[in-house]
Copies of this chain bind each other. A is one copy, B any other.
């Protein structure tokens, strides 16, 4: 590669942006805060989409599409909702050459427009549950942006479900949290903490927000997905009632849940290294690349041999466009190509030179560890197939070990501060907390650490213990971290 990636130790932020831009995952657009997702980045989103979409359908959901533009007045129907989103809205004031009677906002999320439709579609308990998901772009005006992690426009999915009981809606909320956790771990190789958010960190309009939280290599946390129990808040705002089997009327119960292109940022920051992107095989658009090494005199023979290995790999790994690539370009040296394919994160590289050809062997190099092995050509496809599983589980294990090594329990506020203030500090720090939002705010002010989740069962753990910030009886065992 012509350019060099800034090493993580020198500047983690620069390292991240170097990978995103040099691996051509995304680019800055002329509109401030909006990014262009380039083909290599979009291919990751397609992998995320197709796997999640299948998991949504397996859990009974169907897709639909609701309008981009929402009457401004709709957001005002739910008080907390408008308070949360008003500062981030993009407003359309003119359409078709004239000024609009009522301004329209570009959806920052779709609860309001969707619940205005649910009002039309739901009459009876027979219409419930309604389990709808939408793949869409949304826009939240941001002042400080970072490619994938925080952009004004981003792509996401948003599930919006309607139920006949509180219990059913809560079960749905937790079911989808579990789908996100499974997806993050099984596909992105991203171990995540789950739990409920503190009230100050919840979604504007929710009763409770649940989240999956992952730890990045700089020991900062990243919220990778959220699932909200909305109670009857939006049903009341849009007057959506249903007739119960007993003939009475009740407001409908709701959940909503979403993940976005931010997951691509998480994927990059969790696994990549100073040589570029590292991708878990299940999410890698290109699973293996063959780099034939030849000179003019032996070019034809080496290419013929390499192509036979290529054909075998395609048979094993799949022959969709770019699943396996053979890099026959002769304007760059093998060393340049090795660096290039490392940069873009192809999980396995196969080097094939004249000597390998003579011996009927190939050289296989793992992207995650850099390990090389020499394998008989006839076994290459099978070995690469095995490596897909080995690399996938190694990445998850590596990320889990890193997270465990950076997960602490603080017994005092001084100890708590020490975790976050020390050079190279950070991680997930559990601390007993009395549940007071003012204390939470002060800790954030003083340490920049926020509560990422209150893990399931944490209240039992907290019982009989002391809040490390106040000395008062603890109510929660909260997990804190500095976060993206």
Q: Which residues from chain A sit less than 8 Å from chain B, CB to CB?
A: 27, 29-31, 34-39, 41-43, 45-46, 57-58, 60, 62-71, 74, 86-97, 103-104, 106, 113, 116-117, 120-121, 126, 132, 136-137, 139, 141-143, 152-153, 155, 320-322, 331
Contacts and interface: CB of A to CB of B under 8 A. Distances in A.
A141 B35 CA distance: 25
Nearest to A61: B321
Nearest to A70: B31
Given A39-B62, A90-B92, A136-B137, 16 more contacts: A29-B66, A36-B66, A36-B117, A37-B65, A37-B66, A41-B64, A42-B62, A60-B321, A62-B321, A65-B155, A68-B153, A69-B139, A87-B96, A92-B106, A96-B142, A97-B141
Contacts of A34: 67-69
A155 B92 CA distance: 19
Contact of A42 (B43, B63, B95, B331): B63
A64 B139 CA distance: 18
Contacts of A66: 29, 36-37
> In terms of DSSP, what is the predominant structure of the interface of chain A?
mixed
A67 B106 contact: no
Contact of A30 (B60, B74, B86): B74
A70 B64 CA distance: 26
A121 B141 CA distance: 27
A29 B67 contact: yes
Contacts of A39: 62-64, 132
Nearest to A35: B67
A453 B27 CA distance: 39
Given A42-B65, A43-B62, A63-B46, A141 B91 contact: no
A43 B67 contact: no
A89 B95 contact: yes
Contacts of A106: 68, 92, 106
A63 B116 CA distance: 33
A35 B113 CA distance: 11
A142 B86 CA distance: 28
A289 to B, nearest CB: 16
A317 to B, nearest CB: 16
Contacts of A58: 321
Contacts of A65: 36-37, 42, 45, 155
Contact of A92 (B38, B42, B92, B120): B92
